[in-house]
Amino acid sequence: MSAHLVGYARVSTNEQDLTVQRNGLMALGVPTERIYVDHGLTGTSRDRPGLREAMAAVRAGDTLVVTKLDRLARSLPDARDIVEDLTRREVKLSIGGSIHDPLDPVGRLLFNVLAMVAEFEADLIRARTREGMQLAKARGRLRGKQPKLSKNQEALVVALYKGGQHTTVEIADIFKVARSTVYRIVQRTPPTD
């Protein structure tokens, strides 16, 4: 039985494109039908369908190929777990065309450094996002989720609900909102007694 190359690509958001990674994997010799992808999923989570499929597709003697280590994992523990699983199953890992040898001390060191850099980059992204959100909030540009109904519509919802002539399902249907929205509006309206 011949060894296969199995590719894995991932982007964190639905707006990002996988073309560069797919082209990179194909340039490294991975056939299109053996490329597994995750679209819109972060590398900090191991619960990724494309990764599961890629890990299931590799057999002893095969090679799992990624263009960069941060596409495979964004945390050192996850990267180590994946490599340990691959090593135990006698599957090689190719990172951008370089085969990772977990038995070589220098290879292990380089892998750990790359994984730490990927984790550090993920931490920086989270920190920048938090800073940006705090800055936007301070400037009044981050207001959270906007209400589905205007104040006048909410007052009408409460009046219809308290009038007892309509069920919550009917009220929700009239205003094209979920029943839970009707309940929330009624709950946050102070009693008028």
- Residues annotated as catalytic are 12
Structure tokens at 135: 């800055």
CB within 8 Å of 3: residues ≥ 6 apart: 61, 62, 63
CB within 8 Å of 100: residues ≥ 6 apart: 83, 92, 93, 94, 107, 111
* Count of Cβ atoms closer than 10 Å to residue 129 Cβ: 10
